[in-house]
Structure 1
Amino acid sequence: MKRIIAFITVVLVTTAVMAFTSPSLLRNVHLGLDLKGGFEILYEATPYEGGAKVSKESLVKTAQSLEKRANMLGTSEPEVTTEGSNRIRLKLAGVTDEAEVRKQMKEPAALTFRSKNGTETSADQYNKIEMVGTDFAENGAKLEYTNMNEPIVAIKVKSKEKFAEVTERLLGQPLAIYMNDELISAPTVQAVLTEGTATISVGGDVNEAKELRDNINLGALPLKLTEKYSQSVGATLGQQSLKETIEAGLIGSVLILIFMIVMYHVPGLFAGFALIVHTWLLILVFVWADFTLTLPGIAAFILGVGMAVDANIITNERIREEIRSGRSVMSAVKAGGKHSLRTILDSNITTIIVALVMFAYGTGAVKGFALVLVVEIVLSIATNIYFSRFLLNLLLKSGKLLKPKYFGVKERDIREL
């Protein structure tokens, strides 16, 4: 009786949790460019200064600059990747104004050091540009600590003479730092700096020091971007693809559930319930891990469901073979589960290895497909092997389902042991 109560409790609680949380989980799933619609641009980076070369580090930091600006535009999940030695690919979901995106993305991160032009005291009057981003050494801003463990930002410029002239003229006055016309710091010049280096105090805030360091390094990048290629993915096209894919998946899932119940009776019903739990867990992982759902991800999901069904078919067929050979139902379930487990694990482990190789060496959609496939397989093993068997064993040990007919085996097909 206790096992029956435990069985009913597990099924009811699991069903209630899935029914209660599914609507909010589905609303929080991030849709990719191919489903939500958006804009994709391929940029070529070239140095501002003639004869200079594009370094890997400067290319990566320029990509980070693009990502920051994309986030400021309010786009969801911008995807920025470097390609080759001088190209950056930008993907933005949910874009409505492509012209504004082009304008914002191509503008470089403008770092300027300014002084007051006149005797005005307002911070808005830092309007005389003393130095610009390219006056600083590339990656020349670093986070350091004083003897009192106070975070400071150490900077290095290209021209010692220019820096000495500026600091001598502004001795005792603020030298404001602006990023794209936004004031980010206004340190006071304490001494004439002749070595081309300086330190900036940020009041002991390590996060502020890191942000200032990154902004200076970002503004010092001597790269300009030229658009080489762009394409739009309409939201209507993406939504239509999503709708058709979901409809096809639901129809296929219903047919699979009917097939499992007709062929394997009660174990097929448990397998169908495990598949539903499997799907809910996958959506939960997507939301918790902040994954982005794309069409390749949906393809991996459907493939994972197919593999989960295969695992259930292998197990149930093996159990039926054991029952036909004359074993009792309890003995057949134990033997069939044991013999099928190795086959199922071998198949899933080899697929995981292939998926990990795809993830390691693939890019973009290939990585997404591989990642979803690995998560699918892990969840499949947890739900379609262990969870469904747990439910089945609860009823068997309570004295229920001990007749072969519950497993789709007719009495006339049973041979003597």
Structure 2
Amino acid sequence: MLVQTKSSIIIVAIVAVLGLLVYFSYQPILSSINLGLDLRGGLRVVLQAQENEGEKVTEDTIQKALGILRERVDSLGVKETTLYPQGDDRVVIEIAGEDDPEAAVNILKNTAQLEFWDENGNVLLTGKNLKDAQARVRSDNQQGEVTLSFDSEGAKLFAEATTANVGKPLLIVIDEEVISAPTVRVPITDGNAVIEGQFTAKEANDLAVLLRSGALPVSLEVMEKRSIGPTLGSESLEKSIKAGIVGVIAVLFFMIGFYRLPGLIADISLILYAVLVLGTMSLLGSVLTLPGIAGFALSIGMAVDANVIIYERIKEELRLGKTLRAAIDAGFKRAFWTIFDANLTTLITAIVLMYFGTGPIKGFAVTLSIGIVASMLVALIFTRYLLLLSANLSDNKKLYGV
């Protein structure tokens, strides 16, 4: 009697804590999960690398370009941006949730090749010797400007350039566009320079980011541009949520109807499973896409499948005449390797997709991987514990579908 009372109290406490966890974490988790382009709306742009004379576009070139673009994204603070290569010479940029995504793409794809010319158009110094670039606002006219500092080699070249052009204009050129052409009054030997122009504070900051991240190794041209409105994205999300709710409710009723008490425990476990998966995605900053929702739904099916395997093993043991606790222990032992092998093979596939896949495929693989790990932990630890507690309440085999 004491054991029954204690088990009942523990089960009620677990259910209550789980209920409170869902109640207090539901909104924070959903509000912090980043929605992808297909759910939130935004812009998808495919950029193609253009070969320069004598310079062939290679995989290494595209990887370098991606690295520079990612650094620009981080520095500019562009929201929910996904970058990945496509084929041998293309880069895909997906921006969700940005107020002006086209402007963001235009800034990101700029080559940002900095050069200093003399009045005859001869290149005296390039951005490869640039050490740092910072934006600031002038106090006299509130216009933005960019301060430059060069490495030792750049400082030497800049000193030579200014010494040779005293009293002459020194053209500051970015992507073959003259930004300013100040007249050199005295030689500058400290390796510092300032780019002045009709810049706003934001324009100066954007320019400093581009210069600081370095020039792209190739020029990028827009090959495809597709805009997804927020209305279409919200409709996709709404339909996905409705389909998910209907599917989950159907699974919950099936488990209770077919497996009875273990089915109810499986339903409780699924609630914990959903919180774990969505909470992990929120903590990792994962982007949820339509394929990601599909991965989540698939992992729910795998979580239920693990419970089905366990419960069928338990029923077999009960039919052999074992006691309830012995049947539960034996059922889990017999089901463990089946569940482990099935989940491991799926996890390996998901990891391969995560590593080699891009965009939506990667989102599907990430969600599926998180779901697989969570389903194994919940089924083999949480569900087992609840079953053993429930075995203390009643040994009626009919409650277990036998």
What's the TM-score bracket when you normalise by the shorter of the two chains?
0.7 to 0.9
Residue 52 (structure 1) shift: 3.9
Partner of 1:326, secondary structure, is coil
Match of 2:151 in 1: 154
Say if 2:167 is the partner of 1:164. Answer: no
Q: Which sections of structure 2, spanning at least 5 residues, go unmatched?
A: 133-148, 167-171, 181-185, 194-206
After TM superposition, the structure 1 = structure 2 runs for residues 214-229 of structure 1, keeping only pairs within 5 Å, are 216=211, 218-221=213-216, 223-229=218-224
Among residues 282, 288, 294, which one is paired with 2:283 in the alignment?
288
Match of 2:256 in 1: 261
Match of 1:81 in 2: 84
Opposite residue 405 of structure 1, the aligned amino acid is K
Residue by residue over 1:330-371, the C-alpha shift from the partner in whole angstroms, topping out at 9 and shown as x without a partner, is: 221121121111211111111112222222332222222222
Measured in 1, the distance between the counterparts of 2:33 and 2:314 equals 38
Residue by residue over 1:200-259, the C-alpha shift from the partner in whole angstroms, topping out at 9 and shown as x without a partner, is: 9xxxxxxxxxxx998656444463322111112222222111111111111111111111
Residue by residue over 1:23-82, the C-alpha shift from the partner in whole angstroms, topping out at 9 and shown as x without a partner, is: 1110111000111111111112336x6444446565445445544655677642111223
Match of 1:407 in 2: 400
Match of 2:10 in 1: 6
With over 3 angstroms needed to count, the CA separation of the structure-2 counterparts of 1:332 and 1:104, relative to structure 1, is: same
Match of 1:298 in 2: 293
Query: Structure 1 vs Structure 2: percent identity of aligned residues?
Result: 34
Q: Which sections of structure 1, spanning at least 5 residues, go unmatched?
A: 115-127, 144-151, 171-175, 183-187, 193-197, 201-211, 410-417
Say if 2:46 is the partner of 1:42. Answer: yes
Measured in 2, the distance between the counterparts of 1:357 and 1:60 equals 20
After TM superposition, the structure 1 = structure 2 runs for residues 9-408 of structure 1, keeping only pairs within 5 Å, are 9-46=13-50, 50-54=53-57, 59-67=62-70, 75-95=78-98, 97=100, 100-101=103-104, 103-109=106-112, 111=114, 135-136=125-126, 138=128, 140=129, 154=151, 156=153, 164-166=160-162, 191=189, 216=211, 218-221=213-216, 223-396=218-391, 399-408=392-401
Measured in 2, the distance between the counterparts of 1:31 and 1:69 equals 21
With over 3 angstroms needed to count, the CA separation of the structure-2 counterparts of 1:71 and 1:362, relative to structure 1, is: closer
Measured in 2, the distance between the counterparts of 1:95 and 1:214 equals 18
Measured in 1, the distance between the counterparts of 2:127 and 2:78 equals 32
Measured in 2, the distance between the counterparts of 1:62 and 1:340 equals 49
Residue 408 (structure 1) shift: 2.0
Opposite residue 18 of structure 1, the aligned amino acid is V
Opposite residue 13 of structure 2, the aligned amino acid is T
With over 3 angstroms needed to count, the CA separation of the structure-2 counterparts of 1:55 and 1:320, relative to structure 1, is: closer
Q: Is the 8 A contact 1:281 1:379 kept in 2?
A: yes
The TM-score normalised by the length of structure 2 is 0.76
Q: Is the 8 A contact 1:265 1:408 kept in 2?
A: yes
Q: Is the 8 A contact 1:261 1:268 kept in 2?
A: yes
Residue 392 (structure 1) shift: 1.6
Instruction: Give RMSD over aligned pairs.
Output: 4.0
Aligned length: 360
Measured in 1, the distance between the counterparts of 2:106 and 2:13 equals 58
Measured in 2, the distance between the counterparts of 1:85 and 1:368 equals 22
With over 3 angstroms needed to count, the CA separation of the structure-2 counterparts of 1:66 and 1:263, relative to structure 1, is: same
With over 3 angstroms needed to count, the CA separation of the structure-2 counterparts of 1:29 and 1:99, relative to structure 1, is: closer
The TM-score normalised by the length of structure 1 is 0.73
Partner of 2:151, secondary structure, is strand
Opposite residue 320 of structure 1, the aligned amino acid is K
